[in-house]
Amino acid sequence: MAKKIAKKAPAKAKGKAKAVAKSSKVKAKAKPAKKPALKVVAKAAPKAPKISTKGWGKDGKALDGVRILDFTHVQSGPTCTQLLAWFGADVIKIERPGQGDITRGQLMDVPNADSLYFTMLNHNKRSITLDSKSKQGMNVLERLVKACDVLVENFAPGALDRMGLTWERIHSWNPRMIVASVKGFGPGPYEDCKVYENVAQCAGGSASTTGFHDGIPLVTGAQIGDSGTGLHLALGIVCALMQRNRTGRGQRVLCAMQDGVLNLCRVKLRDQQRLKAGPLKEYTQFGQGIPFGDAVPRAGNDSGGGQPGVILKCKGWETDPNAYIYFITQAPVWEKICDLIGEPGWKTHPDYAKPPARLPRLTEIFGRIEQWTMTKSKFEVMNECNALDIPVGPILSMKEIAEEPSLRETGTVVEVDHPTRGKYLSVGNPIKLSDSITEVKRSPLLGEHTDEILSKVLKFTPREIAEIKASGATGEAPKAQAAE
Ligand code: COA
- Predicted confidence (pLDDT) per residue in 94-105, tens digit: 999 999 999 999
Active site residues: 226
Task: Name the β-bridge partners of 56.
Answer: none
Helices 257-264 and 226-247 pack at an angle, to 10 degrees, of 100
C-alpha distance from residue 3 to each of 7, 18, 32, 208, 217 (Å): 6, 14, 9, 57, 61
Q: 27: pLDDT confidence band, cut at 50, 70 and 90?
A: very low
Q: 315: pLDDT confidence band, cut at 50, 70 and 90?
A: very high
DSSP 8-69: HS-HHHHHHHHHHHHH-HHHHHHGGGGHHHHHHHHHHHHHSPPPP-SPTT-S--TTTT-EEE
Across the range 205-214, mean pLDDT stands at 96
Can you tell me the distance from the alpha carbon of 234 to that of 197, in angstroms, rounded to the nearest whole number? 18
Distance 388 CA to ligand 1 centre (A): 53
Can you tell me the distance from the alpha carbon of 276 to that of 272, in angstroms, rounded to the nearest whole number? 8
Residues 6+ apart with CB under 8 A from 81: 68, 70, 72, 89, 91, 93, 125, 152
Return the ligand 1 atom nearest residue 95 CA: 7
Share the mean pLDDT of the chain. 90
Ligand 1 cavity residues, CB under 6 Å: 74-77, 94, 96, 130-133, 154-156, 159, 162-163, 182-184, 194-196, 226
Lowest mean pLDDT among 28-32, 112-116, 138-142, 200-204: 28-32
Can you tell me the distance from the alpha carbon of 18 to that of 34, in angstroms, rounded to the nearest whole number? 13
Cβ atoms of 306 and 271 closer than 8 Å: no
**Ligand 1: residue whose CA is nearest its atom 18:** 159
Q: How many CB atoms lie within 10 A of CB 448?
A: 17
371, 419, 399: which is closest to 110 by C-alpha?
419
Return the ligand 1 atom nearest residue 226 CA: 48
307, 322, 325, 313: which is closest to 362 by C-alpha?
307
pLDDT of residue 421: 95
- Predicted confidence (pLDDT) per residue in 427-466, tens digit: 999 999 999 999 999 999 999 999 999 999 999 999 999 9
380, 354, 426: which is closest to 118 by C-alpha?
426
336, 185, 338: which is closest to 254 by C-alpha?
185
pLDDT of residue 46: 59
pLDDT of residue 287: 85
Among 99, 194, 199, say which to mutate for ligand 1: greatest number of ligand atoms within 8 Å of CB: 194
**Ligand 1: residue whose CA is nearest its atom 35:** 194
Does the model's pTM come out above 0.75? yes
pLDDT of residue 395: 98
In the chain, pLDDT over 70 holds for what percent of residues? 88
Q: Which residue has the higher pLDDT, 385 or 22?
A: 385
Can you tell me the distance from the alpha carbon of 325 to that of 393, in angstroms, rounded to the nearest whole number? 6
Distance 266 CA to ligand 1 centre (A): 30
Return the ligand 1 atom nearest residue 71 CA: 8
Tell me the three state secondary structure of residue 390. Answer: coil
- Predicted confidence (pLDDT) per residue in 156-176, tens digit: 999 999 999 999 999 999 999
pLDDT of residue 157: 96
Cβ atoms of 425 and 414 closer than 8 Å: yes
Q: Is the pLDDT of residue 23 over 50?
A: no
